[in-house]
Amino acid sequence: MDLVRTENLKVRFPLRGRAPFAPKKYVEAVNDVSIAIPRGQTYGLVGESGCGKSTLANALLGLQKPTSGHVYFDGQCLDTADRETFRALRRRMQMVFQDPFSALNPRFTVEKILQEPMKIRGGMTESEMRERVLDLLGMVGLSGEDLPRYPTDFSGGQRQRICIARAIALRPDFLVCDEPVSALDVSVHAQILNLLMDLQEQSGMTYLFISHNLAVVRDICADVGVMYLGMLMETGPADAVFSNPLHPYTRFLLSAVLDMNPESSRQPMLLKGEIPSPIDLPQGCAFCTRCPCATEQCRTVRPLLTEAESGHFAACHLLKKQEQG
Ligand SMILES: Nc1ncnc2c1ncn2[C@@H]1O[C@H](COP(=O)(O)OP(=O)(O)O)[C@@H](O)[C@H]1O
Ligand SMILES: [Mg+2]
């Protein structure tokens, strides 16, 4: 069964600072998104900055109330749960943030940082906590000698290890990793990703892995979802999405990745047009203003996610044309 699931999830933010009698406007940060993350697997969420990835993650964690639609965790509806149920579910989820520099209190030692979640939950003796902290440090590749040190004594990669240790301190079932390597040196990306994969193998945790870089999610995710302006444009098994990208936007993201390889003979796909603002979305396909293949239908009718091959969905009118043609 899926551990985490959304059903037609929408989150919108009212725009502030408008004239008192002007019509209200909204940012459609997450627009009708349904995803499912099977237990013990990694779902990769990709898309350009501002497309709603973090807002979707916050809704999954119960930190952001949906405007409409629902979030289910382990079969229970999070957004309608009573306070007690919510808190019990919430305790099973954790998050690793993008910036390990601002995520750690600079005045706390590593020991205090890692003990804090246990102290807040309660029910452990000092020696049990000490033992767990040492275990955690070992799990993330640090040692007992690091206990009295402060965050500023560590490199970015090491700080992210501390953040990961803190996130898994209470053995969560679900871990959201929101761009966990974006702020780090490229040289440590692989180490941190491998650490996350090892921890998942040992514990069976379920991950939502957010990145704006498709290359990063490629190796580590079972399924991926591609977001654009709050909407899911394509989703499916990572193998299928990477070997047979169906949506022109996914192809664009992939060509941007290939672009980094100087030996690639493929021409990168160039995008014309501007990203529309998430306030005034185009009437038809959200991507139509930049899509090299957009037709009149794309500009007027919003395409629905359609299953093209087993478990592989895309929201693109041209998909049907390809099948028919
Ligand atoms: N608390 C908020 N209030 C108003 N607008 C917000 C808020 N959080 C996010 N947004 C807007 O919602 C959209 C999606 O943001 P976000 O989820 O942070 O995107 P991403 O994580 O993909 O970069 C953006 O246009 C952003 O400006
Ligand atoms: Mg974000």
Distances (CA, A) of 137 to 63, 164, 193, 236, 274: 28, 10, 17, 35, 46
- At 62 the pLDDT is 96
C-beta of residue 56 within 8 angstroms of C-beta of residue 235:
no
Q: Given a cut of 90, is residue 74 above it in pLDDT?
A: yes
Q: What is the mean pLDDT of residues 84-98?
A: 96
Confidence band for 24, pLDDT divided at 50, 70 and 90: confident
Confidence band for 279, pLDDT divided at 50, 70 and 90: confident
pLDDT digits (tens, 9 = 90+) for 112-159: 999 999 999 999 999 999 999 999 999 999 999 999 999 999 999 999
Counting from 1 in the atom list of ligand 1, the atom nearest the Cα of 14 is 4
What CATH architecture is 2-92+172-324? 3-Layer(aba) Sandwich (3.40)
Task: Encode burial over 175-197: b for 16+ CB neighbours within 10 A, e otherwise.
Answer: bbbbbbbebbeeebbeebbebbe
- At 262 the pLDDT is 52
- At 281 the pLDDT is 81
- At 208 the pLDDT is 98
Q: What is the mean pLDDT of residues 98-104?
A: 92
Confidence band for 268, pLDDT divided at 50, 70 and 90: low
If one counts every other C-beta atom within 10 angstroms of the C-beta of residue 267, the result is 9
64 burial class (0-12, 13-18, 19+ CB within 10 angstroms)? buried
Q: Is 0.85 topped by the overall pTM? A: yes
- At 258 the pLDDT is 56
- At 21 the pLDDT is 78
- At 323 the pLDDT is 60
pLDDT digits (tens, 9 = 90+) for 40-62: 999 999 999 899 999 999 999 99
Tell which residue, 24, 27, 167, has the closest CA to residue 95.
167
The ligand minimizing its distance to the Cα of 45 is 1
Counting from 1 in the atom list of ligand 1, the atom nearest the Cα of 58 is 17
- Which backbone phi and psi does 12 adopt, to 5 degrees? -130, 150
- Which backbone phi and psi does 111 adopt, to 5 degrees? -60, -45
Q: Where does the chain hold its CATH 3.40.50.300 domain(s)?
A: 2-92+172-324
- At 19 the pLDDT is 76
User: Which segments of 78-228 does DSSP mark as H helices, in order?
Assistant: 83-90, 110-121, 126-139, 156-168, 186-203, 214-218
Q: Which residues line ligand 1 (CB under 6 A)?
A: 13, 27, 29, 47, 49-55, 278
pLDDT digits (tens, 9 = 90+) for 165-196: 999 999 999 999 999 999 999 999 999 999 99
Cα–ligand 1 centroid distance for 25 (angstroms): 15
* Distance, CA of 325 to CA of 320 (rounded, Å): 8
* Distance, CA of 121 to CA of 184 (rounded, Å): 31
C-beta of residue 230 within 8 angstroms of C-beta of residue 29:
yes
pLDDT digits (tens, 9 = 90+) for 219-234: 899 999 999 999 999 9
Greater confidence (55 vs 278) lies with 55
Q: What type of residue sits at position 56?
A: L
- At 114 the pLDDT is 98
Q: Which of helix, strand or coil describes residue 40?
A: coil
Q: What is the DSSP letter of 302?
A: P
Best mutation site among 9, 25, 26, 27 for ligand 1, i.e. most ligand atoms within 8 A of its Cβ? 27
Q: What is the mean pLDDT of the chain?
A: 91
The ligand minimizing its distance to the Cα of 26 is 1
Q: Given a cut of 90, is residue 275 above it in pLDDT?
A: no
Cα dihedral angle (78, 66, 34, 192), rounded to 10 degrees? -80
Cα–ligand 2 centroid distance for 54 (angstroms): 4
The distance from CA 102 to its chain's CA centroid, rounded to whole angstroms, is 19
Q: Tokens 């240790």 label which residue?
A: 165
Counting from 1 in the atom list of ligand 1, the atom nearest the Cα of 277 is 25
Confidence band for 69, pLDDT divided at 50, 70 and 90: very high
- At 123 the pLDDT is 93
Cα–ligand 2 centroid distance for 178 (angstroms): 7
- At 214 the pLDDT is 83
| β-pair partners for 178 | 210
| β-pair partners for 307 | 313
- Percent of the chain having pLDDT more than 90? 79
The ligand minimizing its distance to the Cα of 63 is 1
- At 321 the pLDDT is 65
The region of weakest confidence among 27-36, 135-144, 267-276 is 267-276
The ligand minimizing its distance to the Cα of 180 is 2
Best mutation site among 55, 58, 67 for ligand 1, i.e. most ligand atoms within 8 A of its Cβ? 55
Task: Encode burial over 109-128: b for 16+ CB neighbours within 10 A, e otherwise.
Answer: bbbebbbebbeeeeeeeeee
Cα–ligand 2 centroid distance for 4 (angstroms): 19
Cα–ligand 2 centroid distance for 53 (angstroms): 6
